[in-house]
Chain A
Amino acid sequence: MPEPGREPGPRPGLEVLRPGLQTTVQDAGRRAAALGVPGGGAADPLSLRLANALVGNPPGAAALELTLSGPTLRFQADALAALCGAPFAASLDGQPFPLGRAVAVRAGQTLATGATARGARATLALRGGLDGEQAFGSRSTDLWAGFGGHAGRALRAGDHLTWGDASPARPPRAFLAPGLQTATGPVHVLRVLPTPEAAPPLLAALTRGFFTVSAQADRMGARLSEGVPAPHDPARVSLPNVPGAVQLPPGGQPILLLPDAGTHGGYPTPLVVASVDRPRLGQLRPGDRVAFRPVTLAQALAALRAQERAIRGVEAALRGWYKEA
């Protein structure tokens, strides 16, 4: 919102010089699965919340999601930016750009992000929140359906992005404790809740050892390389997918469902990743190793509450900074 007394000028913006491998606008996602629309939203929602908190945005404001190799952006206006998530190499006019803290960017400066050696994704938040097309109450880009975010697609060189005209603020000196951010592998032991489709032999096969993330890993899902004996049930009807479901197609290679997965699926889903570990799915990278550790509902919820307390602590502290600034 423009401040009272200030002339509403053009929205502050930037130009995409290099798009990176797959850079998209994402926010907290949508709730329209009843209409066949995937939830979408940041693949690592924890990175989105932390990056937004660092620049004084609401937790679900739209930001850029970087994948494996990030973009180069030339700023045409002053900005306050924060990069959270996988440790992407990043520099601002050649100077190192720190991760996990808010950084003031001047008009005319160029932010260049490179690759990440661990994990897969990071969030670049800008104070004011990125603009983007809304669809079903969210600015998230649905690449497959082709709507939301920036023209329903990943960024291209020459694209122009704008963000909300927020009140200017000095960046807080705070930086995030490394333990707060989503773990980036290369080894992931994911807490899971078995479903009634996890018959004891299947559950034993799924929890016996490590799987490898295959090259088929995107925002819809991550297929694992090693197979387990899959139950064959041609009569199974399509049921709604839940976030974090582990799907088992007839070939037996488990697929971990990410935010852009279809709303319904006909394959058995013997495991569901606990909510506390769902942000880690967005950091799965081809070649990473994944194991499943069954936990009780009580254990899953206790871990989620502990994580939430820590994040809300960060959000409250940063809100306090911006209120005084």
Chain B
Amino acid sequence: MPDADPGLPRDLPPDWPPDRPPGLTPLGDGALLLRPVRARALLAELGRRPLPGVLEAVPALDALLLRYDPLGTDPGRLAAALEERLAALETAAGAPGRTLTLPVAFGGPDLAWCAAHAGLDVSAFVEAVCAAPLEVAFLGFTPGFAFLSGLPPHLQMPRLPTPRARVPAGSVALGGPWAGVYPRDTPGGWRLIGHTDAPLFDLARPDPVWWQAGDRVRLVPADA
């Protein structure tokens, strides 16, 4: 516990918690967290028609963080503009994302374990993983690391009890509800089922990161 009372005011500020519609939460004085049903569609919409004062839109699972410039944007006006955009989105058709194909050499150190955990032999397991309709839910953890959603329950793997100190770049892995690829050597606690040579992260490119939130991803055996 912190030590002696420094004589700080104990009264709660009068406008907290803020009285705002659910699904739109201020985080500090420079960000709003949105949890709209159509977070992904809103992200695409903001990419097409940026809102003035918004510095960046950061997707998460079923959520979108908007960082704004508090010196140039009134948070109340921004919230109103967002609600307007959201209302318009409810009726508009969603924009189709890209579909990316990721060649994978299956054969990671945990492949046999994962297949057994799923109750399948290795070739059936690989086939099932390749059939999963994966989607980039969001990027985070390390630059270019994508959290891929869409694994059916029987392919969802418990994380390792102790993370590996070093997972080689390009490792394709399963952890909890997610699939992912480590873009660079890092520690990691997911189960490694394969390896890809896809250039996921290359600072020499205009777009250094290969994928973005909303992209659909299919794994295909590299030798196929």
A238 to B59, CA, bound (A): 11
Specify which chain B residues have a CB less than 8 angstroms from the CB of A210 in the assembled complex: 2-4, 6
- A203-B12 in contact (CB<8A): yes
A35, A200, A274: which has the most chain B beta carbons within 10 Å? A35
Specify which chain A residues have a CB less than 8 angstroms from the CB of B9 in the assembled complex: 293-294
Judge if B140 is at the interface, Cβ distance under 8 Å: yes
Minimal beta-carbon separation of B24 from chain A (angstroms)? 11
- B8-A263 in contact (CB<8A): no
- B58-A209 in contact (CB<8A): no
Specify which chain A residues have a CB less than 8 angstroms from the CB of B62 in the assembled complex: 237
- B13-A294 in contact (CB<8A): yes
- A36-B8 in contact (CB<8A): no
B4, B13, B17, B75: which has the most chain A beta carbons within 10 Å? B13
State which size class the interface on A falls in: 35 or more
- B13-A208 in contact (CB<8A): no
- The answer, among A239, A264, A297, for a CB contact under 8 Å with B26, is A297
- B2-A293 in contact (CB<8A): no
Judge if B222 is at the interface, Cβ distance under 8 Å: no
- A275-B30 in contact (CB<8A): yes
Judge if B61 is at the interface, Cβ distance under 8 Å: yes
Judge if B71 is at the interface, Cβ distance under 8 Å: yes
Contact A237/B209 with A36-B142, A243-B30 known, Cβ cut-off 8 Å: no
A217 to B2, CA, bound (A): 18
- B30-A296 in contact (CB<8A): no
- B1-A298 in contact (CB<8A): no
Specify which chain A residues have a CB less than 8 angstroms from the CB of B59 in the assembled complex: 34, 240
B29: nearest chain-A partner, CB-CB: A300
Which residues, 226 to 284 on A, are CB-close (under 8 Å) to B?
Answer: 226-228, 237-240, 242-245, 262-264, 269, 272-275
A136: nearest chain-B partner, CB-CB: B208
- B203-A135 in contact (CB<8A): yes
Judge if A196 is at the interface, Cβ distance under 8 Å: yes
- B16-A298 in contact (CB<8A): no
- The answer, among B2, B10, B141, for a CB contact under 8 Å with A36, is B141
Judge if A87 is at the interface, Cβ distance under 8 Å: no
Contact A33/B56 with A209-B2, A264-B140, A295-B13 known, Cβ cut-off 8 Å: yes
Judge if B111 is at the interface, Cβ distance under 8 Å: no
- The answer, among B27, B30, B146, for a CB contact under 8 Å with A269, is B27
Which residues, 178 to 206 on A, are CB-close (under 8 Å) to B?
Answer: 189, 193-196, 200, 203-206
- A291-B139 in contact (CB<8A): no
Judge if A106 is at the interface, Cβ distance under 8 Å: no
- A209-B5 in contact (CB<8A): yes
Specify which chain A residues have a CB less than 8 angstroms from the CB of B117 in the assembled complex: none
Q: A34-B139, A245-B27, A301-B29 are in contact. List 9 more A-B contacts (CB 8 A).
A: A136-B208, A226-B1, A228-B1, A238-B61, A239-B60, A242-B28, A242-B67, A293-B9, A297-B15
Chosen A-B contacts, 29 in total, with CB atoms closer than 8 Å, are A34-B138, A35-B208, A36-B141, A36-B144, A147-B143, A189-B6, A193-B26, A193-B28, A194-B13, A195-B28, A204-B10, A208-B5, A209-B1, A209-B2, A209-B6, A237-B62, A237-B63, A238-B140, A239-B60, A242-B31, A245-B27, A262-B141, A272-B27, A275-B70, A293-B9, A294-B16, A296-B14, A296-B16, A298-B15
